[in-house]
Amino acid sequence: MAACPAPGSRRRIRRTHFIAAGCAMALCATVAAPAAADGGTTTTTAKPTIVLVHGAFADASSWNGVVERLERRGYSVIAPANPLRGLYSDSTYIASVLDSIKGPLVLVGHSYGGALISSAAAGNGRVKSLVYVSALMPDVGESGMSLAARFPSELGTATNSVPYRAGGVSGTDLYLKPDRLRPVFAADLPESTTRVMAVTQRPVATTAFSEKAKVAAWKHIPSWFLVAKQGRTINPDQERFEAQRAGSHTVEIDSSHVAMITHPEAVTDLVLQAATAAESARPELPATGSPHAARTKTALTGIAAASLIAGAGAVLLGRRWGRPTS
């Protein structure tokens, strides 16, 4: 017959088993903690909303081909109506549109619309990328007129000035001359199309080009630039100068000024580059220390806490089950 252990021995055995179980619990917590801590640093960035801002003499429908392509790729797109009343009021309006959109943003500006996104994006941390399509990209203190003086184009002789009055305000609107719209603005579109564009064009107030930029968001936000090599509304050399000054990711294509209409695929590809860069952006790291150090610190904190809890639980269980029965 096997000898039975004495009651005291049984209590010591039970206590030993529970302490061992507690150590096993602590060990499991130690092994699992780094994965949880490291996993906590992983984030999924939502696709940014693409905001397309048209320029002078046009409307939001000029983006139709780009909108269709971006939406097929799963992006939310907004193409607001640009008031074309002046740099200050127009950029304020576009900034208010941005305030109504949740999540990260990529702003795209064509022609005069480029000056607007440079101002509207200033101070908005949700704007991740700026895209300029044969656009104005003024620095602080510059205007469309001052840039055109340095890089002359045919636009200066292709417009008619028309006084306007509205709501107690008066000023001067600029229209493209009907016979000059195609050669200066859209030389690679059919004449039948440009005739309709001449009739339906939206005028722009002269203040859009005379007001000087007060901010330049491209100094702080990554930018992409498409140079229209055949453009005659903005001198291609001006576009190259602007892009180089800003350190923009730049492509050049054989297009008239309205590249988003005549080459929507090329424009969409550039916007997608900017959007992809925005999607891959990581959250800010701690002010000091490396990412590895931050993850290690988090993991060690979790390990210590888990081990302490598991060890304390084991001791309490050991005391409970090791207590003599009455």
**pLDDT of 31-75, one tens digit each?**
333 333 344 444 446 899 999 999 999 999 999 999 999 999 999
101/126 Cα distance (integer angstroms): 10
Question: Around 276, how many Cα atoms within 13 Å sit in the side-chain half-sphere?
Answer: 8
**Whole-number pLDDT of residue 46:** 85
Q: State both tokens at 242.
A: 């602007």
| Residue 228 clears pLDDT 80, i.e. is over it | yes
2: which DSSP letter? P
**Whole-number pLDDT of residue 280:** 79
**Whole-number pLDDT of residue 45:** 62
| Residue 319 clears pLDDT 80, i.e. is over it | no
More confident residue, 306 or 164: 164
For residue 281, name the pLDDT band (cuts at 50, 70, 90): low
**Residue keyed to tokens 């600029």:** 174
**Whole-number pLDDT of residue 283:** 45
Residue-averaged pLDDT of the chain:
82
Choice among 60-64, 84-88, 300-304 with the minimum mean pLDDT: 300-304
For residue 170, name the pLDDT band (cuts at 50, 70, 90): very high
Query: pTM for this structure?
Result: 0.75
**pLDDT of 232-268, one tens digit each?**
999 999 999 999 999 999 999 999 999 999 999 999 9
Helices of type H across 186-286: 191-200, 207-210, 236-246, 259-262, 264-279
